[in-house]
Structure 1
Amino acid sequence: MSPPLFEVSKLSKRYGSATVVDNLSFSIAPGECLGVIGPNGAGKTTTIRMCLGLTTPDEGRISYSPPGAAAAALHMPQDALAIKAQLGIVSQFDSLDPDFSCAENLLVFGRYFGMKDAVIKARIPQLLEFASLTHKANAKLSELSGGMKRRLSLARALVNDPQLLLLDEPTTGLDPQARHLMWERLQRLVQQGKSILLTTHFMDEAERLCDRLLVLDHGQKMTEGAPRDLIARNLEPDVIEVYGEGALALVDSPIRTLAARTEVSGETVFFYTHAAKPLLAALADHPQLRTLHRPANLEDLFLKLTGRQIREDA
């Protein structure tokens, strides 16, 4: 196996008496997409900020090993500038300059890396093509949709040809068409050998894009692994959702014994089971209820590990 491109070891961050990130370790291999999921306040954004050198950890080590056997490892924060020169960043909120056109945003951003104008201008056409924005090269941001702005942010993050992309909820606020186009572009980057650290609240996005997932809660790693492996290790294979008048009464009925585990959310009862047929047969005696039988998914895993209670932003 290739050595990690990026490695975080025993990272911790506290604000007063609150521990926001607690002894967190993970690594990213070349050409790998690592997803980080967790509820609000889990420590995802603080972790990203420490990886970028914007927040200083209280303990732990962050290192970047440039491709090439002879290259020495770089460490954050002492080598912050050298590491950032090899990163691409898409934050939660667009930081594009509204006074510039799409092409000008790319040109000006490339200058921050000390790139010559001739080199940047030679890259701009392929970056705009990658973002499906060739026809908007001279358009100002006010002429772009939300999806176009997110794609331009991704193109801008690639102007320095980084080996590692840090994407903090890159598809938040996008409609389904724009999200799917963004997913296609991110998959293409991984196929080209880029590495990605992705935080997201969309479970379908995490399952579709990520080779591995890291589940965070209260700053700690709850579990880590490939999406389908995590589901198989932590959940029963079948889920039956039951809702309608009288559904909640099933929680205290003999039907409950037919499921390995039961959860309630609002007016819906979730039965998690290894054998769906007996449970479905018993539910057939309650025709007033509506049922949905489906395989367990990543959202079930997320809710099992972090709970169903809504949390305010921390």
Structure 2
Amino acid sequence: MTSLPATAWLPRVRAHEERADSLTAGHRSRKAAKQRHAIDDFLYDYYGTRPAVLRRWHPGVGVRLEPGPHGPAPHGRWRWYASDPDGTVGFDAAAFLVDRADSVRFIRRLLSSISTRPAFTGCFGLHEWAMVYRQREHRHPLPLRLGQQGTDAVVEAHQIRCSHFDAFRFFTPDAVDLNRLRPTRASQVDLDQPGCLHAAMDCHKWATKLGPAVPGELALDCFELARDIRLLDMQASPYDLSAYGEPAVAIETPEGKAEYVARQREFSQRSGHLRARLIDVCTALLDAAEPPAMARV
């Protein structure tokens, strides 16, 4: 157990809030103006990200906050925190696990499984193409770079190997049988792999589910990675992003494939580091709530 004086944790709170505000500024501004954004909105709609929640700094498992000049840390009023008589406040791992133990164990099992596998980098982002294959209506109100016929031709000219269920479930009916794999929710632990953009973006999902157990800096690292990956996900899609000033990564060409793979490998490395830190959070959570005789082997 580590105890932080206010002189140590208050600057971290301020830095975290400033960074979170910077990362979400565009979304908050557009929301106030009731404007939509085909790239950025995914992080908030699909993942249910709330800027106000993302802005809250948490110290993480095993850290207690000493009182500051204005009294105990505000965390004492938040869910899953406990206060001591001397005014120190800390995350209550045991209370959290009463509500989330199954989730914590699943997250650790999934992330540990992903970490043992090599990264597959031959998918070229074709999941987004399979989501519009032979379909008149599309998820985003944007034109297709190659038109419907050209888009369908790209899908038919490639082998599709999508391993991520939450991408595969949005394939059009005609595209389902073109996928070499049949990912399901039940097979997620067996199929998710570190080269998958969506599995990497999901670091933000798992950090969110682990909530206040995750140090604030790690939570923002995961969100920032998801934001960066989402841009490539859409640049490599069949949609024309010229309205947003974003160039295409034309995966139907050798040059586009090379750029996609290079950026995919970079994201795989970044997500690998974050995944390891999230696994450590899960392990610290489970260990902190178990008596010594029953600690994890």
Would the TM-score normalized by the shorter structure come out above 0.5? no
- Band of TM-score, shorter chain: under 0.3
**TM (normalized to structure 2)?**
0.26
Q: Report which of the two has the higher share of strand.
A: 1
The structure with the largest alpha-carbon Rg is 1
TM-score by length of 1: 0.25
Structure in which a larger fraction of residues adopt helix? 2
